[in-house]
Structure formats: structure tokens, C-alpha cells
Structure 1
Amino acid sequence: MANSSLEFTLRPFRLSDADDFFIYAGDVKATRFARLSTLTSKEEAISYIQNHCIPHPYFRSICINDRCIGCVFIAPEKGEDRCRAEIGYGLALDYWGKGITTRAAKIALSEGFKQFPDLVRIQAHVEVDNKASQRVLEKLGFQREGLLRKFTYNKGAIRDLFMYSLLSTEFIA
């Protein structure tokens, strides 16, 4: 049974998160569907946090007791495509099945729609085999729009993805 009472916070990443981030990002099972390559060292974790997470417009550490257990991001497009953004998330294995990802993504959606005023659509690309992520999005009210056949490379193979979207007018905070 899901433990919906587990308390967590979202906050910007810090370099001091590297050890905890590496627990998630260095785990082959936890990163199976992530576009992030599975990290192999704490140094790679530091570099990723420094060069990607910190400068990103919305990349948050999911924390329990201020320790990083995962991440959630909203990546807005620029220019004429600024009406849409991509959402992504990941979580350390020990915390799977507890409802944390769904609740963290809901907070991120709320903050994203406020922080990026031109945003009217948040979308997600999810591998066909990633049933857990599909359930997260569906619980949040995302609509599956279709199958993107042979759409991307991930972990050395060409993958089919489902496209999901949520419009700002559909989001219930």
C-alpha cells in the first residue's frame, strides 16, 4: 500500500547533493528509462549538478530531511514554442511505490505554470515499457496523445514513446 504521509520537500540542487544524487543517478535500475546516462562516479554527479541542474530554469531536488532522493524538472521551450514545456522526474529505488513522484510532480506543475506565464501545455515522453511513469502522469490528469514510433535512442536502442500532455486549463492544483 502506498504511504502518502511520507514528507518530502522540493528545492534547488546544491553541489552538496552529489553523494545522495549519485545513489539514484548511479543505479542502473533507477535510470533505466531516464535519458540521463547512468552515472559512474561522484565526480560525474557533481558535474551534472553543476552544469545541468543548477543553471536549469526549473530542476528541483526531491528531499527527505534535506537529503536528495530524486529529482523533478520542467523544461520550458524558448521563442515561439514557449507555450510548452517538458516534465521529467526520477526517484531512488527505496522510495518507489510510495506516491512521492506523483506528489512531487504535482507541486512542480503548480510552480511551473506560475513561474512560466506563457506556459499552456506541459508534455512528457514516456517509453512504452515504463508503466509506472504512465500511471504517474495519468493520476495527474495528463492525456495520452499517441505513440511516437522509433522516436529516440536511449541506452543504446531505438525506443517507441508515448506522448502525454496536460493543459494549464486542465490542471487541478
Structure 2
Amino acid sequence: MNYKTDVNFTEVSIRPFAVTDADDFFSWACDDNATRYLRWNTINNKAEALKYLKEVAIPHPWRRSICCADKSIGYISLRPESGSDHHRAHISYAISSKFWGRGIMTSAVKMAIPMAFREFPHVVRIEGLVEDENKASKKVLEKVGFKKEGYLRKYGFNKGKVVDMIMYSFLSTDVLK
């Protein structure tokens, strides 16, 4: 299969990361385009990719590899809050720029939402904070059924600058589109 041009959507899945994903993970995590809106920096070498998987991705409460034919092409992550905010979780995601514009991220988010609500039954709200200029990510959340709640001026900090953010939410009672 040519991953750049041929995508069989029946082969798109999400699963926990494994150390054996290091090469695939590095192949997209080294791309500044793919990591542009992420809070973590672009991965510079395979050793760094393996370290990130072992120390961050695998022990994370809910970080999954987005796969096409079991090849890791991105990630999706949900992080439940703690204490009195344990009813909320935050979603984040990224995908190889080779796969942009094909609906794969929308499919992955649609797969992840019910899984997350099952695995974290105390979570009733999933929040997505998106940089205002990230049109593709806003489109993904809107296609899935997230509701736009507000514009947060100078709310986030990413890659050395303070940025405007848009708040989206999806409730456990909402219906996936």
C-alpha cells in the first residue's frame, strides 16, 4: 500500500502505543508541519522518538496511536482532570501531514470519544482547545459534533508565543455526527 496516496479507511484504527512504533512515530513526529500546534517539540532522531514513547506516550492515561494498516500515522490523547474537575477531559491529536485532508482524524476522533467515555465513566465533558489559526482542527471537531463555546483571547502558549484559542466541548449526552 502506498501510504501517501492509497488509504483504505477500513484499516484505520486506534490502539495503545508500543515501543515497536518508534520508527513509524519518528516518521511523522519529525515533521514540523505535523507538530506545529502541539505543545511538545518536533522529534529530532529515533532515539528521542523511542524515549518519548517510553516516557510519555505509553505511560499516559489515554494516548493512542492512530494507525493505517497497523502503521502508526498519528496520535489521539485524552487527559482527564483531577480533583473537583475530574468530570472533564482534554482531547489533543496530530497526524502525519501525508494524511491531511482525508477524513482520517475525524474518523479517529469518532472512534475515540465513545471509548473514552466508557473507560472514564466519571467524565461527562471532553474539551478541545484549538489555536484560532488551526482551521483543520476546528473543522475536525465540528464534523464530529463538538460545540464551539467561545473565543479565548491570548489564552494559550505554544512554541514561544501567546495565542488565541477556541474552546469546543462534547458531552457524554451529545450524539456523534
TM bin, normalised by shorter chain, reads: over 0.9
Aligned residue pairs: how many?
171
Matched-pair identity in %:
47
Q: Is residue 4–residue 99 contact of structure 1 (8 Å, CA) maintained in 2?
A: no
> Aligned partners of 1:172 and 1:139: how far apart in 2?
9
Partner of 1:49: 53
Deviates more, 1:57-66 or 1:4-13: 4-13
Q: Confirm or deny that 1:20 pairs with 2:24.
A: yes
Q: Is residue 8–residue 63 contact of structure 1 (8 Å, CA) maintained in 2?
A: yes
Of the three residues 109, 113, 116, the one matched with 1:112 is: 116
TM-score by length of 2: 0.92
> Aligned partners of 1:39 and 1:4: how far apart in 2?
25
Of the three residues 33, 48, 57, the one matched with 2:37 is: 33
Q: Confirm or deny that 1:10 pairs with 2:53.
A: no
Q: Is residue 4–residue 100 contact of structure 1 (8 Å, CA) maintained in 2?
A: no
Q: Is residue 7–residue 68 contact of structure 2 (8 Å, CA) maintained in 1?
A: no
Q: Which runs of 5+ in 1 are unaligned?
A: none
Q: Tell me the alpha carbon deviations over residues 16-57 of structure 1, each in whole angstroms, 9 at most, x when there is no partner.
A: 111111121110011111112111111111111111111111
> Aligned partners of 1:50 and 1:5: how far apart in 2?
29
TM-score by length of 1: 0.94
> Aligned partners of 1:167 and 1:156: how far apart in 2?
32
Of the three residues 122, 127, 130, the one matched with 1:126 is: 130
Q: Which runs of 5+ in 2 are unaligned?
A: 1-5
